[in-house]
Amino acid sequence: MSNIEERLLPVGIIQHTFSDDVETNRTRNEQSIVTLAEEGARLIVLSELHDSLYFCQTENVDNFDLAYPIPGDFTAFYSRVARENEVVIVASTFEKRACGLYHNTAVVFETDGSICGIYRKMHIPDDPGFYEKFYFTPGDLGFEPIETSVGTLGVLVCWDQWYPEAARLMCLKGAEMLIYPTAIGWNPDDSDDEKRRQRDAWITIQRSHAVANGVPVVSVNRVGYEEDPSGQTSGIDFWGSSFVAGPQGEIITECSESEVEERICVLNLSRSENVRRWWPFFRDRRIDAYGDITLRYR
Amino acid sequence: MSNIEERLLPVGIIQHTFSDDVETNRTRNEQSIVTLAEEGARLIVLSELHDSLYFCQTENVDNFDLAYPIPGDFTAFYSRVARENEVVIVASTFEKRACGLYHNTAVVFETDGSICGIYRKMHIPDDPGFYEKFYFTPGDLGFEPIETSVGTLGVLVCWDQWYPEAARLMCLKGAEMLIYPTAIGWNPDDSDDEKRRQRDAWITIQRSHAVANGVPVVSVNRVGYEEDPSGQTSGIDFWGSSFVAGPQGEIITECSESEVEERICVLNLSRSENVRRWWPFFRDRRIDAYGDITLRYR
């Protein structure tokens, strides 16, 4: 390990099912946070939109009732929980920025309950069952890491995970780990082979961001079946499989596909120093030849 | 499959050991090409620098004798082999561009023996046992796909495989598959755990390029032990594991870690059309926010 100071960070991850009752979801989230904090977690990551069902299965204007301003009820609740448990929390919310203007936003709380920073989901999906372009305006804050007492966090959200550009930009600005709150699952009508390919691809590409950038990746998904209120599709089987990978992309812990779980995993942040010495990918980037990355198509 | 025409392409991959005798290496390569062509391969991919040992284990000026101009002896040999077997060949060479100016270059031959295009390795590694910066000037042709009768090839070389930018730029310009001739292996002194992490990372990041871009990936490595002529290190155990992945990153075929192998694998190029309809990552790229990719560090 040469002369590198060891930095250990116990990270708690919460893989839950959710109901249509916000108060119930919040209460269960708080119980898990209390448990993980008691067990020593200093950073706790929840999944995407963890105060509600995944409401994007249909386009319904009534669902805008689920949005909260920042600051507001949402931040008041998780601010208190962070302060009382003295943990850093990465939470996720449906942000009402103004009348008719909404985002899918991650909020990071400091151990004293203050807000360290927010990240507005930059890449917004839209496919059958995931009608996010109806609800969320694409983020306008760019790819900016958030400084906290436990490290510099590269917080991204779900669909962002398919974009190596997002991970790279976070790490080029000093993110020490990548964090992905997520809500992804299977169409129950798909074949088992197709389901395997989808889940494997989802794990593979997030591990690859660890490899390309020499940082750990924390990905937290919801779990369980949620029906499509419109009845048009067979609903979504959220595939869980929340995981943490180290800076060589190695899996450190991986949750099940179907169970509610909360886990602690200890990250050794000093390994990035070692890995980047041996795999100095940042040294050899051909920045003179990357300009066309900003084109839609060449 | 909707109304999408099926395009099947039998690809032959050659995972060899090599000796210090160029003629012997070429003869064995030709024998494998003949065999694969007879079995129906229409595109054949060799590993990196397949006419010699991996000479970059030491910095030795005499090794510049191994370089060839383009056109020259190297292209004459593989041009004839491509023409006689009516196959497209992705070959790899130590290019002498001028006195004192050398590249690590992939050359693609058409079925009539003509040269379709060349790619000069853009990212050049340099670490103990892999002293490539001594031998190879970084490529100056950029990331340009090569048109052939079997499709548009995104040919990259070895160290390039760690850079999502390279894969993206190839695919943004129409590459229908990514091809990586490679020479990568273990330091025999590393622990088994470290060896596993390295090989897994190498497979993971290349599969991720398939996922991010919805194209197949063909990666061909050398195999076997080569000693370090300087005696400074324990040499390199080239880990083989050549593989082909489909456009969801799914492994289609994978060679062993230690055996000489030649294989045919049938790519279904029409699957990219399907995969990109369902996973429309190109649609949602935030090209307005990617500008800093061209910075060394933000």
pLDDT one-digit tens code per residue, A250-259: 999 999 999 9
pLDDT one-digit tens code per residue, A49-67: 999 999 999 999 999 999 9
Contacts of A208 in chain B (CB under 8 A): 164, 204-205, 207-209
- Nearest-CA distance A211 → chain B (Å): 6
Answer whether B49 touches A (CB < 8 Å). Answer: no
- Nearest-CA distance B159 → chain A (Å): 9
pLDDT one-digit tens code per residue, A116-169: 999 999 999 999 999 999 999 999 999 999 999 999 999 999 999 999 999 999
Contact B294 A291 (CB under 8 A): yes
Instruction: Give the one of B123, B280, B295 whose C-beta lies nearest to A284's C-beta.
Output: B123
- Put residue B269 in one of left, alpha, beta given phi > 0 → left and psi -120 to 50 → alpha: alpha
Position B1 in a domain = no
Distances (CA, A) of A162 to A81, A125, A202, B218: 31, 11, 8, 21
- pLDDT at residue A218, rounded to an integer: 98
Distances (CA, A) of A82 to A91, A92, B189: 10, 14, 46
Answer whether A248 touches B (CB < 8 Å). Answer: yes
Question: Residue A282 — φ and ψ, nearest 5°?
Answer: -65, -30
- pLDDT at residue B64, rounded to an integer: 98
pLDDT one-digit tens code per residue, A163-208: 999 999 999 999 999 999 999 999 999 999 999 999 999 999 999 9
User: Could you tell me which of B62, B127, B135 has the C-alpha nearest to residue B103?
Assistant: B135
Number of residues that this document lists for chain A: 298
Q: Residue B33 in contact with residue B263, Cβ under 8 Å?
A: no
Q: What's the token pair of residue B206?
A: 């290349």
CATH code of the domain covering residue A256: 3.60.110.10
| Catalytic annotation, pick one of B116, B121, B171, B262 | B121
pLDDT band at B292 (very low <50, low <70, confident <90, very high): very high
pLDDT at A241 exceeding the cut of 70: yes
In whole angstroms, give the CA distance from residue B53 to residue B72: 20
Among the residues of chain A, which ranges form H helices? 22-38, 73-85, 132-135, 164-172, 192-213, 271-278
User: Could you tell me which of B218, B221, B249, B255 has the C-alpha nearest to residue B10?
Assistant: B218
Cis peptide before B71 (omega within 30 of 0): yes
Contacts of B209 in chain A (CB under 8 A): 208
DSSP string covering A171-233: HHTT-SEEEEEE--EE-TTS-HHHHHHHHHHHHHHHHHHHHHHT--EEEEE-EEEE--TTSSS
pLDDT one-digit tens code per residue, B171-227: 999 999 999 999 999 999 999 999 999 999 999 999 999 999 999 999 999 999 999
Position A189 in a domain = yes
% of chain B residues with pLDDT over 70 = 99
Position A288 in a domain = no
- pLDDT at residue B4, rounded to an integer: 77
User: Could you tell me which of B67, B58, B37, B182 has the C-alpha nearest to residue B123?
Assistant: B182
Domain that holds residue A146: 8-282
- Nearest-CA distance B256 → chain A (Å): 21
Answer whether B124 touches A (CB < 8 Å). Answer: yes
Task: Report the Cα B160 to chain-centroid distance in Å.
Answer: 9
pLDDT at B230 exceeding the cut of 70: yes
pLDDT at B1 exceeding the cut of 70: no
Contact B197 A287 (CB under 8 A): no
Q: Are strands B217-221 and A101-109 parallel, antiparallel or unpaired?
A: unpaired
pLDDT one-digit tens code per residue, A1-25: 467 788 999 999 999 999 999 999 9
Please name the residue that has the structure tokens 């593979």.
A204
In whole angstroms, give the CA distance from residue A278 to residue A281: 9
What kind and span of H or E run contains A93? strand A88-98
Please name the residue that has the structure tokens 């119930």.
A24
- Return the residue of B nearest to A121 by Cα: B286
- pLDDT at residue A2, rounded to an integer: 62
A41-51 average pLDDT score: 98
pLDDT band at B2 (very low <50, low <70, confident <90, very high): low
- pLDDT at residue B290, rounded to an integer: 98
User: Could you tell me which of B26, B2, B30, B266 has the C-alpha nearest to residue B150?
Assistant: B266
pLDDT one-digit tens code per residue, B17-58: 999 999 999 999 999 999 999 999 999 999 999 999 999 999
DSSP 8-state symbol, A123 = S
Q: Residue A172 in contact with residue B295, Cβ under 8 Å?
A: yes
Position B298 in a domain = no
pLDDT at B252 exceeding the cut of 90: yes
Q: Residue A85 in contact with residue A65, Cβ under 8 Å?
A: no
Rounded to the nearest 5 degrees, what angle is found at the Cα of A210, between the Cα atoms of A207 and A212?
110
Question: Residue A55 — φ and ψ, nearest 5°?
Answer: -75, -5
User: Could you tell me which of A116, A137, A122, A237 has the C-alpha nearest to residue A180?
Assistant: A122
Q: What is the mean pLDDT of chain B?
A: 97
Position A74 in a domain = yes
Position B222 in a domain = yes
Contacts of B280 in chain A (CB under 8 A): 127
- pLDDT at residue B282, rounded to an integer: 98
Position B198 in a domain = yes
DSSP string covering chain B: -TT----EEEEEEEE----S-HHHHHHHHHHHHHHHHHTT-SEEE--TTTTS--GGGS--GGGGGG-B-SSSHHHHHHHHHHHHHT-EEEEEEEEEEETTEEEEEEEEE-TTS-EEEEEE--S---BTTB-HHHH-PPPSS-S--EEETTEEEEE--GGGGG-HHHHHHHHHTT-SEEEEEE--EE-TTS-HHHHHHHHHHHHHHHHHHHHHHT--EEEEE-EEEE--TTSSS--EEEE---EEE-TTS-EEEE--SSS-EEEEEEEETTHHHHHHHHS-GGGG--GGG-GGGGSS--
B108-130 average pLDDT score: 97
pLDDT one-digit tens code per residue, B139-183: 999 999 999 999 999 999 999 999 999 999 999 999 999 999 999
Domain total in chain A: 1
Position B50 in a domain = yes
- Nearest-CA distance A287 → chain B (Å): 5
In single-letter form, the type of residue at position A168 comes to R
Contact A169 B211 (CB under 8 A): no
Q: Which residues are CB-contacts of B294 (< 8 A; sequence separation ≥ 6)?
A: A287, A290, A291, A293
